Amino acid sequence: MLNKINPWKNNNPSSSLRERIHEIKEHEVPGHVAIIMDGNGRWAKKRALPRVAGHHEGMKVVKKITRLANELGIKTLTVYAFSTENWKRPKMEVDFLMKLPEEFLGTYLPELIEENVRVDMMGYMDKLPEHTKKAVGKAMEDTRENTGLTLNFALNYGSRAEIIEGVKQVLNDIKNGIINENEIDEEVFSSYLMTRNLGDPDLLIRTSGEIRLSNFMLWQLAYTEFWFTEVLWPDFNEEHFLEAIEAFQGRQRRFGGV
């Protein structure tokens, strides 16, 4: 029997929140939820704080939402932590962002292991600093046997680069006789992407009021339900997450049918 993370470890939720969780679990929950965690810098600016303060506060939100996602029975939670375009940001901010996985996993890994959560990553690890690669690699290794929620970090990830790389691999396999070009369909091509073992997201959440994909999982989001909120990521809480899940449950997914 899998352990369940208690999302309310350090809180005393109202009975209404408990009822909402119970009601949500009585219906189909999204198997894979992806989140574009936007608004950390604006959150800090509103408080006359450096941008890195917003990123640090946002890290705490990842912990809360991971606990709740596991409690709800969601299988995969993908968080967009750092894009291939984010290297353009000021060096101090980039250096801080590269230290966050080490801090996050260093303090949270024991709980992830205890609660049967598996850590995964998609992105270009070879370009990350050694200390970041070491922290992520250790977390992936220490949790690889876990069978509960998969917490998937999109770190140094860009969807266009992923698709181009996938095309190159397909062409190489055709050239080497591994596959025939007539065998290529959506399912086959999907197996060349970084999400090959995760499946496509059922629900995408983006915070901070921005309504765009920002080069995130462009192929995989073809039939995903989108949910946008004006709330900045550091202010995003369990109630907001439940609201997104409830909205998902209220929609009819037809996948092009009627």
- What residue ranges do the domains of the chain occupy? 30-158+201-210+229-249
Contact yes or no for 248/203 (Cβ under 8 A): yes
Question: How many Å apart are CA 22 and CA 36, to the nearest integer?
Answer: 26
- What φ, ψ does residue 82 adopt, rounded to 5°? -160, 125
pLDDT of the residue at 98: 95
> 224-236 pLDDT, tens per residue?
999 999 999 999 9
pLDDT of the residue at 24: 96
92 contact partners, CB below 8 Å, separation of at least 6: 52
- Looking at the annotation, which residues are catalytic? 38, 86
Strand boundaries in the chain, DSSP class E:
32-36, 76-83, 118-122, 150-157, 203-206, 225-228
pLDDT of the residue at 12: 54
**Is 32 strand, coil or helix?**
strand
The kind and range of the H/E element at 17 are helix 15-25
pLDDT of the residue at 9: 47
Question: How many Å apart are CA 62 and CA 27, to the nearest integer?
Answer: 24
Token couple for 194: 């970084």
pTM reported for the whole predicted model: 0.91
pLDDT of the residue at 255: 62
pLDDT of the residue at 252: 83
Consecutive sets of 10 residues in the chain, 258 residues long: mean pLDDT of each? Answer: 42 74 95 98 96 95 96 97 95 94 92 95 95 96 96 98 98 97 96 96 98 98 97 97 97 68
Find the length of the chain: 258
- Identify the CATH number of the domain defined by range 30-158+201-210+229-249: 3.40.1180.10
pLDDT of the residue at 17: 83
> 182-200 pLDDT, tens per residue?
999 999 999 999 999 999 9
